[in-house]
Amino acid sequence: MPGLLRGIARTAVVAGTATAVSNRVSRRQADRWSQQGEQYVPARAMPTQQPQEVYVQAPPQAAAPPADARIERLKELAALHDQGVLTDEEFTREKTRVLNG
């Protein structure tokens, strides 16, 4: 049973890391478009049509501080470590990724 929990926990860590990376890439792309004064919005296409790209003026948005997401991620990792799901090495490696990310 502990092996199963460890596997589930590792899968959760990998999925969380992938989500964080994906969100970071999306945020960077949105920042690039906002610096140009436009927002990239792909149009929804009918199944028989080719997708079209539409550019619209982006309203100014307040960016959420990324520190909050990092703190939450560190809390999640600490909880997994305290429960014994993550080893010291795994915890240190993931913590380093979050802090350097």
Question: Which tokens in the block code for residue 70?
Answer: 């990092």
The residue among 8, 28, 31, 24 whose CA lies nearest residue 73 is 24
Where do we find the tokens 């999925």? 15
Where do we find the tokens 């049973």? 1
Where do we find the tokens 């909880």? 79
pTM, full prediction: 0.36
The residue among 24, 2, 3, 11 whose CA lies nearest residue 70 is 24
- List, for residues 43-99, the tens digit of each pLDDT value: 554 455 555 666 666 666 655 556 788 889 999 999 999 999 889 999 999 999 888
